[in-house]
Amino acid sequence: MFVNPRSWIKATVPSVTVSGFTQVEIKMLGVTFSRKFLVSLHVNDFLSHCSQSLFALRTLRQHSLPADAL
């Protein structure tokens, strides 16, 4: 169940609990969704992946990988 983050109505949202873990987000087709449809989780995940890729490319360049291989 998804909830409007600016809703005046306080709805009780059933949570899925499996051996102590509660699901608060889901990733479908590369897009991260939360129960309140906030995009911050998706943006943070996307920026994290970009930072990791840039770090890997910088590291390879520092270790003298040819430019055409990058």
pLDDT at position 33 over 80? no
Tokens (6 digits) for 69: 């291989």
Q: Percent of the chain scored above 90 by pLDDT?
A: 19
Q: Are 32 and 26 in contact (CB under 8 A)?
A: yes
What pLDDT is stored for residue 28 in this prediction? 77
- The residues facing 17 across adjacent strands are 22
The mean pLDDT of 38-52, rounded to a whole number, is: 86
Q: Is the pLDDT of residue 16 over 90?
A: no
pLDDT at position 17: 62
Alpha-carbon separation of residue 48 from 24, 42, 58 (angstroms): 19, 10, 15
pLDDT at position 56: 93
pTM, entire model: 0.52
Q: Whole-angstrom Cα distance, residue 13 to residue 61?
A: 49
What DSSP string runs through 49-61? HHHHHHHHHHHHH
